[in-house]
Amino acid sequence: MLAAPAAAQSPTLETVKKRGQVTCGVNTGLAGFSAPDDRGNWVGLDVDFCRAVAAAIFRDGRRVRFVPLNAKERFTALQSGEVDILSRNTTWTMSRDTSLGLNFNGILYFDGQAFMVRRSLGLKAAGDLKGASICVQSGTTNELNIADFFTTHALRYRPVVYERLDEVLGAYQNGRCDAFTADSSQLIAERLRLPDPDAHEILPDLISKEPLGPAVRQGDAGWANIVRWTLFAMINAEELGVTQKTVDADRESSNPEIRRLLGIEGNYGQALGLDADWVASILKAVGNYGETFERNLGQGSPLKIARGRNALWKDGGLLYAPPVR
């Protein structure tokens, strides 16, 4: 016989509940992922993810304090306990997952590194960047990847490295480098901040895998479960067609998968230390994965990024969440 499940235990969840808020490390300002809007509210996919976790815990997606972090500061902020979650266009790599005292919890956005150049240069591919000077931000995977790329292709290049994103963009804008390299989604966002976006293009090659996802401190498996299953719940809700609008009516659904997801049958929230309707709370706060994607990065946003790899597996993409059962 199976032993009765242990009560959910997570020191981080206890602290968060006492504090009444999740603290979430986000980007200092990256359109589509995390940036304050004109009224000072944080918006974006990474922001919505934190709101989803807050909603799962408090039934209220507003119970988050956002802490803006640049590339260099981000891991220390999580390690030191300044934030409970790092949800900041951060690539899951082996060294970060194993030697920084952190754990990643799934992939929120499948990205890859690209190059932005002036259209007037007439370049066709990344391989045309022979001898180019390349602007890149320090403390990122991007800084390491360009070294790999130019070594592999036996091409010379000159890195122009800055610690802050504004410095990198400014340097590119002022012609201090021929190309700006970053994750493709970030280049799409940054290009729109340039005075004449149409004068710049993003070369089609992706030179790396950049699986972006939320990280937590190692050693609190209960908290990691909450973060990981919040992501899976958002993806599963899209797959089952449950949206922000339909979530209440879907309580009457006869589909057993929907009934389990919404806590009508069984109580899958309990093992996370959450209420039975934790997923319904997430959906009411931010909607399912597809809804937050479209609003922040897709057709409902200035970025107009296609779902591509970030479509559900059944639509030819890579999003595949384990089932609730």
**Which residues sit at the interface with ligand GSH, rule CB under 6 A?**
27-28, 30, 70-71, 89-91, 137, 140-142, 165, 182-183, 186, 210, 212
Nearest CB to ligand GSH, comparing residues 157 and 180: 180
Q: Give the separation between CA 57 and CA 60, rounded to whole angstroms.
A: 8
Residue closer to ligand GSH by CB (options 130, 193) is 193
- Kindly state the smallest distance separating residue 138's Cβ from ligand GSH, in Å: 9
Would you say 67 or 261 has its CB closer to ligand GSH?
A: 67
Q: How far is the CB of 255 from ligand GSH (least distance, A)?
A: 37
Question: In the numeric block, which tokens belong to residue 11?
Answer: 């020191």
Degrees (nearest 5) of the Cα angle 239, 50, 91?
A: 80
CB of 155 to ligand GSH, least distance (A): 22
Q: Which helix (H) or strand (E) holds 209?
A: none
Minimum CB separation from ligand GSH for residue 129, in Å?
Answer: 18
In this complex, which beta carbon is closest to ligand GSH, that of residue 102 or of residue 235? Answer: 102
Minimum distance, C-beta of residue 256 to ligand GSH, in the bound complex (Å): 38
Q: At what angle do helices 221-240 and 289-296 cross, to 10 degrees?
A: 80
H-helix segments, the chain:
11-19, 45-58, 74-79, 94-99, 141-152, 165-173, 184-191, 221-240, 256-261, 278-286, 289-296
Q: Nearest Cα to 236, choosing from 228, 134, 192?
A: 228
> Which residue number, 95 or 254, has a Cβ lying nearer to ligand GSH?
95
